[in-house]
Structure 1
Amino acid sequence: MSRQVRVAVFRPDDERIGDAVELLSSLGADPVPDPMLAVEATGRTPEDAPYVILTSKTGVELAAERGWKPAPETTLAAIGPATAEAAREVGWEVDLVPKEYTSAGLVEALEGHIEGVRVEVARSDHGSDVLTDGLRAAGGDVHETVLYRLVRPESAGHSTERAAEGELEAAAFTSSLTVEHFLEAAAERGIEEAARKGLSSAVVGAIGDPTRETAESHGITVDVVPGEATFESLATAVVERAAPSYHE
């Protein structure tokens, strides 16, 4: 007999939350979808530069919708396979995807190539300083364009109540902001400490080390960080940890 595994998932309220629910269901889990992010476009597009970095599928889609495309001589870098796939779907050639799908991975991939060179970073308003600081340390002339803002939807937070009641076996955090928004939603309900306690008895997954560090800085113990920073890897690792088969 398999253990019931209710997994809170916080992907944005678009096709990503639907895909997450489908994936978790296919893994035998009971998804608890609670989108913690909503996108507000700024209307801006990336500036042309010898190197342009895109850090999300959302950024690609917003730039493409406004008619932007990389110049033929531009080296286009994507932070990971999902971003790269989105770029290829709109007809752009992706020149670089780092081995490690993180800001630090991008910096490592570009070190030695960008000294004195203009580097455009196009992303959300909550992008990590690890990327821009690291590129500057590598000698790059870095410019950042905010393509969109990430806000907490008004409806977000029912998963915090489930956590406070001990009704979650797992939670899958996909960014530092999802951690912060989860705790903000709990605080608004007056159940922040109860929700944090509920997570302490659940399996908590973080998509990468920056998300893990944020969670731990807020007193949330992280049990799982997948080797690959993708939602599929995160979901699989969380469910495997939370739902070992057992026999009565």
Structure 2
Amino acid sequence: MSREVRVAVFRPDDERLDEAVELLDSLGATPVPDPMLAIEPTGAAPRIDADYAVLTSKTGVELAARAGWKPADLTICAIGERTARALREAGYEVDLLPEEFSSSGLVDALQGRVDGTRIEVARSDHGSRVLTDGLNDAGAYVHETVLYELIRPPGSGGSVERAAAGELEGALFTSSLTVEHFLDAAAERGLREEAIAGLDDAVVGAIGDPTRRTAESHDIMVDLVPETASFEELACEVVEAAAPSYRD
């Protein structure tokens, strides 16, 4: 690599952050881990008096299993492959996996088959309304159970200072909430404008269009959105854009 590529990553401080750091290391970049999300379980379990159950994350599946969720005749839907894998590992069947791993992709997959049915959506307190509104528009009766809340961990925000000092070549935003929490941490430090200016000089990647729109609504210029909403593609594209010689 022709220069050091320091890349901020904001995933929760669990195996997802470990995997992200390992991936960036393998790409020859210097990871700047700064978890912007922490999970606080609510203790709730998904309802079983529905026709469909929608799980949207690995965390949600693990919490549902821990709460003793025992679906009987529900059609179980996973929003993506990671969630589907977690469901199978927890002993649940996966009846539907959309071609496009997104809220809109799942709505499209269920369109025309859920009119008049009851759908249980079990997820975090920051789930996209695209999913619930889309299922309502398709004629379903939608109930949402909040399995966990997403908060900003105490002490987060080291990447803000690196951005403000011009010490980041890349940043990987994986949800709208990571953008908002980054900016909250910047505001706490009195560095909001400086951090945004620092990101302008870096390669900023957003995992999907909703995350891109959130960033751009706060004056953060997004340089790329991968065609597939996967962290691996996001990281690879940002590192490649920041230092095209990294594969050499």
Corresponding position of 2:61: 60
Runs of 4+ in 1 over 2 A off after TM superposition: none
Alignment of 1:13-24 (within 5 A): 13-24=13-24
* Length-normalised TM-score, structure 1: 0.97
Q: 2-side partners of 1:74 and 1:5: how far apart?
A: 47
Structure 2 CA distance for aligned equivalents of residues 11 and 95 of structure 1? 28
3-state DSSP of counterpart to 1:221: coil
Q: CA deviation at 1:157?
A: 0.2
Q: Which residues of 2 match residues 156-195 of structure 1 at below 5 A?
A: 156-195=156-195
CA distance in 1, matches of 2:4, 2:71: 47
Structure 2 distance, partners of 1:52, 1:95, is 10
> Share of identical aligned residues, percent?
70
Matches within 5 A, 1:206-217: 206-217=206-217
In 2, Cα distance between equivalents of 1:236 and 1:82: 19
Counterpart CA distance in 1 for 2:76 and 2:126 is: 21
Equivalent-residue separation in structure 2 for 1:51 and 1:220 (angstroms) = 38
2:71 aligns to what?
70
Offset of residue 3 of structure 1: 2.4
- Render the CA deviation track for 1:176-226: whole Å, top value 9, x for unaligned: 000000000000000000000000010001111110110010001111111
How far is the alpha carbon of 1:239 from its aligned partner?
1.2
Give the root-mean-square deviation of aligned CA atoms: 1.0
Question: What does 1:5-154 correspond to in 2, within 5 Å?
Answer: 5-48=5-48, 49-71=50-72, 73-154=73-154
Where does structure 2 lack aligned partners over 5 or more consecutive residues? none
What CA distance in whole angstroms lies between the structure 2 residues aligned with 1:93 and 1:239?
37
Deviations 1:100-126 (A, max 9, x none): 111111111110010000011000000
Contact (CA 8 Å) 1:38, 1:152: kept in 2 or not? yes
State the TM-score, normalizing by the size of structure 2: 0.97
Runs of 5+ unmatched residues, structure 1: none
Q: 1:66-119 deviations in whole A, cap 9, x for unaligned?
A: 111332x21111111111111111111111111111111111111001000001
